[in-house]
Amino acid sequence: MNAGILGMGSFVGDRIIANAEFEKVLDTTDEWIKTRTGIEERRFASEEINTSHMAYAAAKEAIENSGVAPEEIDLILVATVTPDMPFPSVSAMIQDQLGAKNAAAMDISAACAGFIYGLVTAQQFIKTEAYKHILVVGVEKLSKVTDMSDRNTAVLFGDGAGAAVLGPVSEGRGILSFELGADGSGAMHIHQKEFIHMNGREVFKFAVRQMGESSLRVLDKAGLTKEDVDFLVPHQANIRIMEASRERLELPIEKMSVTVNKYGNTSSSSIPIALVEELKAGKIKDDNLVVLVGFGAGLVWGAVAIRWGR
């Protein structure tokens, strides 16, 4: 049984924070931020809006768009490293609100690759026919773990949520192949105790190599080549890293999703938020071959080749 995406939804923070805001308090400039990262502004959620609120909003939209009733959801997977609290899980917190009374619920911690880890986990349950409909949410409130006095990280992150309902799709569509990976030897290059700390140079080197290699490997696993790719949705961390992935696939710029300029790095929610934007813009169509690829703290990475449509 092939597993694919039946419906999607998203939510972004309500406060728009332009680069000029950081010029006032940090030794940085709008031009420096744009040149080094591609970020022009990001969204922060208001203090009263927590991770579970954003997850619920994105999930509600995804369920509505999928045509699947809430009580038909068998499992809720929430990828996040910024839950409201250590427990209960965000997935359990939104289950009742969504009316998904028959769903099991668990959270996944895989940082910026979390949504891809969630998609692949959902695929396994659906392929084995253990479950039929699974809700996968990537959500982060990174503003609450970002040191706004650290110019190396303060300008990078934003808040948001993206969600997808997965279920059986027709032959030839859905998730065709995947790769998940981890390298714990690089764990301290990006970590969070009270605030996020990052060795930007080492993370950059890792990401440029891994994103391109993973994209090519999932195509090879699916028996496809880079010439078959219709659209690339990379993790929206840094435009230079994203461009390196696009160049490895030899894709024209118009075939890569770019939302980092508007939202910054929203970790596990960046790929689904970008997917929703491209779907609404009509850039991803049925039967398109779409590659999703991301990396994050762990160090972890993941990639998926998916034939779009139901």
Q: List residues with catalytic annotation.
A: 112, 235, 265
Report the C-alpha gap between 83 and 79 in whole angstroms.
9
Give how far Cα 217 sits from Cα of 181, 210, 211, 222, 303, Å: 12, 10, 10, 9, 9
Cα 212-216-221 angle, rounded to 5 deg: 145
- Structure tokens, 67: 């045509």
Element (H, E) at 85: none
Which amino acid would we find at residue 174? Answer: G
Element (H, E) at 264: none
The string over 252-266, giving b where at least 16 C-beta atoms fall within 10 Å of a residue's C-beta and e elsewhere, is eeeebbbbbebbbbb
Element (H, E) at 206: helix 200-221
DSSP string, 91-133: HHHHHHHHT-TT-EEEEE--GGGHHHHHHHHHHHHHHTTS-S-
Q: HSE of 61 in the Cβ direction (CA atoms, 13 Å)?
A: 17
Q: Which residues pair with 16 in a beta bridge?
A: 43
Which amino acid would we find at residue 133? Answer: H
Report the C-alpha gap between 245 and 293 in whole angstroms.
9
